[in-house]
Amino acid sequence: MTDDEFARCLHELVEDRRHGASELARRCLEIGAGSALAAPAANGAALRRLLAERSAALVQARPTMAPIDNLLARWQTALAGAPDADLARLRETAAAAARALIEESHAAVHRAAAHAARRIGRGRTVMTHSLSSTVVELFAQLRHEGVRAIVTESRPLCEGYRLAERLSAWAVPTTLITDAQAGLFVAKADAVVVGADTLLPDGSVVNKAGTYALAAVARDQVVPFYVCCESFKRRPAGAAAPELEEMDASELGAPALPHVTGRNVYFDITPARLVSGWFTERDEGDPAAGP
């Protein structure tokens, strides 16, 4: 992967509105593997330096998404022990390490969803917000168990429509609502389940804007509010609060008016006290166990 190709991948990552943090983190590992195999480098030390630089650039591109940081850090750690002397061998080792982490991430998503599916059980109505690949996996596991879905559109780009398409293809009975109707429909759900872009050290959840209000009404209606994600979503203890990415206000489609400023912050933070349980590949949602 040349510098130009990498620059294009980086630009696509910055602009991506279609994929959640898990998928984008795996995409970054694919870019890493491609860079390892084919980036221009005179020797092992040069390749290692280039891969470290590209990793840093990928992390910087989506600062709200902890798994990009976590998985690329894991990858850099795996590379630290590989010998520099044989460039071709280092390329293969680095690419294989990235692919192994992609597999590990997929397996973690599957297990996290399995833990949540077991807790939710048969014949339940699950409400969610935005489009999380982990929540898609949850519905995949529950689709022959009589699950029903309540899905918010998730403005501004309405990725809830794409979740509805997936659920429709699986014949899951689905109710599709505006974000503003979340308070009306939460009482019809047996549980709310969302993914996460990042889990903060105290268990607070960085996720698509609208998650916090949904958690607040779920608490008010005494409906359990679960978070389901890989443990790679966790930001390490002591890490600074994440920057909440803001996208172009033109995505709102609102009229341009003097004195009026459109805002388009993509993420909000749901405090840990509103979360009923955290499901990861290791955690089975026991609130006493914490995040």
Among 71, 97, 172, 228, contact with a second copy (rule: CB under 8 A): 172
**Shortest distance in whole angstroms from residue 285 CB to a second copy:** 22
**Half-sphere exposure of 129 toward its Cβ, with a 13 Å CA cutoff?**
33
Q: Which of 76, 93, 181, 231 binds a second copy (CB under 8 A)?
A: 181
Pick the piece of the chain touching a second copy (CB under 8 A) from 78-86, 98-106, 120-128, 216-224. 216-224
| Residue 164 sits in the site that holds a second copy (CB under 8 A) | yes
Sign of CA dihedral 10, 99, 78, 236: positive
Interface residue with a second copy among 46, 78, 114, 213 (CB under 8 A) is: 213
**Count of residues in contact with a second copy, rule CB under 8 A:** 54
Least gap, CB of 192 to a second copy (angstroms): 12
Q: Is the torsion defined by CA of 178, 182, 187, 193 positive or negative? A: positive
Q: Where are the alpha helices (DSSP H) in 81-210?
A: 87-120, 133-142, 160-169, 182-185
How does strand 267-270 pair with strand 205-208? Answer: antiparallel
Q: What is the DSSP letter of 270?
A: E
Binding-site member from 44, 203, 210, 242 for a second copy (CB under 8 A): 210
Within 235-274, which residues bind a second copy (CB under 8 A)?
244, 252, 254-255, 257-265, 268, 271, 274
Q: If binding is defined by CB under 8 A, does position 143 make contact with a second copy? A: no
Tell me whether strands 191-194 and 125-128 are parallel, antiparallel or unpaired. Answer: parallel
Determine whether 197 is an active site residue.
Answer: yes
**184 touches a second copy (CB under 8 A):** yes
**Nearest in space to 126 (alpha carbons), one of 117, 134, 282:** 117
In this structure, what are the phi and psi dihedrals at residue 268, rounded to the nearest 5 degrees? -130, 175
Q: Name residues whose C-beta falls within 8 Å of residue 264's C-beta, 6 or more positions apart in sequence.
A: 156, 246, 247, 248, 249, 251, 252
Which of these is catalytic: 69, 179, 197, 283?
Answer: 197
The torsion angle over the Cα atoms of residues 90, 96, 98 and 102, rounded to 10 degrees, is: 180
| Closer residue to a second copy in complex, CB, 32/210 | 210
- Among the residue ranges 16-24, 44-52, 118-126, 151-159, the one whose residues contact a second copy (CB under 8 A): 151-159
Q: Which residue ranges make up the site for a second copy (CB under 8 A)? A: 129, 152-156, 158, 161, 164-165, 167-168, 171-185, 208-214, 216-217, 219-220, 244, 252, 254-255, 257-265, 268, 271, 274
